[in-house]
Chains A and B, each alone.
Chain A
Amino acid sequence: MNTFQRTVYPFTAIIGQEKMKKGLILNAINPRLGGILIRGEKGTAKSTAVRALAALLPEIEVVLGCPYNCDPQDLAHLCEFCRARLKAGRQLKKTTDQVKVIDLPVSATEDRVVGSLDFEYAIKCGKPRFELGILAKANRGIIYIDEVNLLDDHIVDILLDVAAMGINVVEREGISYSHPAEFILVGTMNPEEGELRPQLTDRFGLCVQVEGVMDPKERVEIAKRREAFDADPRGFIARWAAEEQQLRERIVSARQRLSMVNISTEMIELIARLSLEALVAGHRADITMASAARTIAAWYGRTEVTEQDVYEVAELVLSHRMREAPPPPPEQPEEKQEQPEEKEEQEEQVQEQDNTDQPTDQTEELSPPPEQTNGESEESEPQEEDKQEDEDGQDLDSPPPAPQEKVFNVGLPFSIKRIARERDRILRKGSGRRSRTRTASRAGRYVRSTMQRGNNDLAFDATMRAAAPYQLYRCREDVAITIETVDIREKVREKRIGNFLLFVVDASGSMGAQQRMVETKGAILSLLLDAYQKRDKIGMVAFKGNTAEVLLPPTNSVEMGHKLLQELPTGGKTPLSAGLAKAYEVAKAHLNKDPDISPLLIIISDGKGNVSMGNDKPLVEARHIAGKICEEERIKTLVIDVEKNGFLTFGLARELAGALGADYYKIDDLKADTLVQAVKQME
């Protein structure tokens, strides 16, 4: 029915990528394997392979005229429609059909996925009718999601729910309906763009990692074949038809053999052992591995699962379910006992070794004792900073001439747990992946309807409800329901958008003590990476010496933030109040420009302010400004305390957080895997 049906590149003509091809074929043989997730860089034939697979799938038997492609043999899973026909004593007519590959575009709305009210029919005939969504079309077929990691969260929820139950239950827009929805989920993703939620990952039976082919000969062959295909698609397909047919037959015979394949107890034990070794959660891995092993045995034409089969599928099944082993006990315990005071440095060195991708030498990082830096003051001239940085690059081995300012390296990044703003009622444009908000665009979840006309995003159910009471008096022309402009309601939608994150970084001398700055920079880098994945806008204010400076005005360029972070020198006093004041200024200015997006201030400091702008004592002044920021409701704050736990903890940052009405974290609290979602209420 589609006029420009695209010609599809043949599956057998794909070069290399054996694992991916095997995974797809296994799914074609045994649809109960639970689909496949293909992770990999761009341009590695991911999509090509999935689309090509459709042409290979054997035909299935379906009930003639059933919109859900019910299986006439499987009476337990019939849809209402077929069941009613059976009850009425009528025969279910059979026909065969190709297995369908249904695309689920990342931009798909919820109503297209689950289905919705057919308004055309409703208006013409005055009766509700369910219009099928993607899930209905995909029953007994394949749902293909390109860039599955970019899918809206609420669509992911629906998919998970339906995939688990095999039934799509629709309760929306005044209709309540359910139909069978069993499908193979095939997704592709590029991990650079952010990871998938573990629940969704686990739903995919198999997972493969694909990479570009590195052999020049094969690459040339790839280019040549693609060129030949582009020049004459039909001729190319015809040339590969025989191979395609062969593969198709092999799949069919493997399918038939599948039910006869045996798996011995030893093999099941082996599977259980492998799962345990990989520390997988739950039992889905074991079950999938067993059926995958049987499937591959059938593929090889055997009826008995061998050890080889199990090992071959283990990688496909376990790679995405594997969990990290708990960290080994701290290294070199004896040495630590001998020299307990060097503990800090030891740890840093371990970190340095890990941090091999940071090219600069870290010898300079070994900071002077804290007392020295703490006492130092106000010699921060910009020119000197530059010089200092240059020197840093050159004389790596000579001991530093007791500098007041240093440029610390950036510590290792870690994954950040979710930090988001509370929901409110403001409509926002734009996109992103952090906070939920009412959205002015037409993507997002339909939460309720409104009479306000904004973007022509009509809510049919509400519109019809509004029109219903007047039907008797309105004249009808060819339609069952007459709708007038006053009846029209629009949808209010909710989705995640990016935020504006303003980093307020303490770059004073005290931050240099005990390598704090390395760790702090690592934490900021992690937040920046997180900001990139959530498409946030960022800005950066740093304070040291006597003043605070806007290092980075609000921008989308996270790269710039990182560059500045690397160059950020540390040293001098702590003008905490000046930093807060500057941050307040930037946030206010941004609010004026873009009143809908509320800034989130992320203050990274130990809170030990020791310089004031006016005559008040530093800490008093800081608290005063903090109070002011607290009053501005649109600005949210978050304090990250970098003070290490020790004999002398001042807890000043915590006090500051109190004055700001801010959320308070220790650096370690930010790590996604160390804390149970204490920020849950912020989502």
Chain B
Amino acid sequence: MSVKKVYPFAAIVGQEELKKGLLLNVVNPKLSGILIRGEKGTAKSTAVRALAALLPEIEVVSDCPFGCDPDDITTMCRQCWERAKAGKELPRTRRKMRVVDLPVSATEDRVVGTLDIEQALKKGEKQFEPGVLAQANRSILYVDEVNLLDDHIVDVLLDSAAMGVNTVEREGVSFTHPANFILVGTMNPEEGELRPQLLDRFGLCVNITGILDPALRVEVIKRRAAFEENPEKFALEWEAEEEKLRQQIVTAQEILLQVNISEEMLFLIAQIAIEMGVDGHRADLVMMKAAKTMAALNGRTEVTEEDIRQSVDLVLLHRMRRKPFQELDIDRQKLERVMGGHNAHIHAHSHTHTRN
């Protein structure tokens, strides 16, 4: 099939935080998604679409509407599970992870799936038709302008995202199917904020702005022009870079499970969370996961302070406690102080160690 060429991920100029956040999520889907806040025209959508080309292939049950993993019995849908239990061989195939779009105008039916009621009434049987969440199982669910989405649809989304299961409970149907997806949302804060409760459910968040460096801006224009002139050629030019990234992701996924985090680093994370005054403990947990993933992405199996430093913004930005109406921002000086203070602490610590 002739797919329209997508602008290569590696060719995006700047927006390092954004790229980092997306890559982290691809490597570790347990980071529970990313929210991209920013003005119009800052490569938000481009980056997400470009990401699709980098996604690794996954093993799926070929005739399953939810794309179950044939090797993981705990996340299977009912049908696959029954078949597997009966000892039947599940037909398998490999396909790429997908980016599934959720339009803002989507109705709840389309999202969670529907019961074909008319059919049900005429024939007297209930038939469930899977929705977007089913398609998005084990893939990326992309919601453009997530802040404009109907509140209760956002609730449904986040609920499913948190539990990895979509439960439909209405009109006498109760149906569940796996819905493990990476939630990627974009929003323009001028159009209104997301409720804090919902914000918190996104693992990471990045604020992006237009690039202010004239040289880089020129580069953006040049690359875009080159791409529009001849997408194939442009893609070819960047293929090597893309392949490198792809390889980086695969390696990171392989070593992720072996990544270790020391007590010291855990204390640093806790310290940051306390000092920066975030609500609850979700920040700690996400920061830990993000730091580990960051280490994996950097090809290491031990989390360093640098990994934490690199992921801290992504985790904290949307979790800073704020009074109603305040804008989101991180008190950078304070953060530096916490991290610096810890540094001193480490040094003192290692000192005593050597002396002993």
Residues of A whose CB lies within 8 Å of any CB of B are: 2-4, 6, 40-45, 105-109, 111-112, 116, 118-120, 123-124, 131, 147, 150, 190, 192-193, 212-214, 216-217, 219-220, 222-224, 226-227, 230, 357, 429-432, 441-443, 455-456, 458, 460, 463, 478-479, 482-485, 488, 528-529, 532, 535, 555-563
Contacts and interface: CB of A to CB of B under 8 A. Distances in A.
A529 B324 CA distance: 8
A21 B114 CA distance: 39
Nearest to A147: B197
Contact of A219 (B81, B152, B270, B327): B270
Q: Which of B78, B165, B270 has the most CB of A within 10 A?
A: B270
B152 A109 contact: no
B255 to A, nearest CB: 15
B156 to A, nearest CB: 6
Nearest to B121: A483
Given A3-B76, A3-B77, A44 B123 contact: no
A118 B172 contact: yes
A124 B124 contact: yes
Contacts of B122: 482-484
Contacts of B74: 4
B331 interface: no
B317 interface: no
A152 B120 CA distance: 28
B197 A105 contact: no
Interface in B111-154: 114, 117-118, 120-126, 147-148, 150-152
Question: Chain B contact residues (Cβ within 8 angstroms of A): what range?
Answer: 35 or more
Interface of B: 30, 74-78, 81, 107-109, 114, 117-118, 120-126, 147-148, 150-152, 155-156, 159, 163-165, 167, 169-172, 176, 178, 189-193, 195-197, 200, 263, 266-267, 269-271, 273-274, 278-285, 288, 323-327
Nearest to A189: B197
A107 B78 CA distance: 24
A111 B171 contact: yes
A212 B117 contact: no
Contact of B159 (A40, A105, A488): A105
Contacts of A430: 150
17 contacts: A3-B78, A4-B165, A6-B165, A43-B282, A44-B280, A120-B124, A192-B197, A213-B281, A216-B270, A220-B266, A222-B284, A455-B107, A458-B171, A557-B190, A558-B192, A559-B325, A562-B325
B76 A532 contact: no
A449 to B, nearest CB: 14
Contacts of A147: 155, 197
Q: Which of A43, A214, A442, A560 has the most CB of B within 10 A?
A: A43
A430 B165 CA distance: 25
Contact of A220 (B30, B263, B282): B263
A42 B279 contact: yes
Contact of A226 (B274, B283, B285): B285
Nearest to B162: A47
B344 to A, nearest CB: 16
Contacts of A109: 170-171
Contacts of B164: 4, 6
Contact of B193 (A124, A223, A559): A559
A4 B190 contact: no
B325 A45 contact: no
Contact of B269 (A223, A230, A460): A223
A562 B327 CA distance: 11
B172 A111 contact: yes
Contact of A193 (B159, B189, B191, B195): B195
Contacts of A112: 169-172
B151 A535 contact: yes
Nearest to A488: B118
B118 A441 contact: no
B81 A3 contact: yes
A219 B124 contact: no
B190 to A, nearest CB: 6
A42 B152 contact: no
B216 to A, nearest CB: 29
Contact of A4 (B76, B120, B121, B123): B76
Given A223-B284, A223-B288, A556 B118 contact: no
Nearest to B196: A192
Nearest to B156: A107
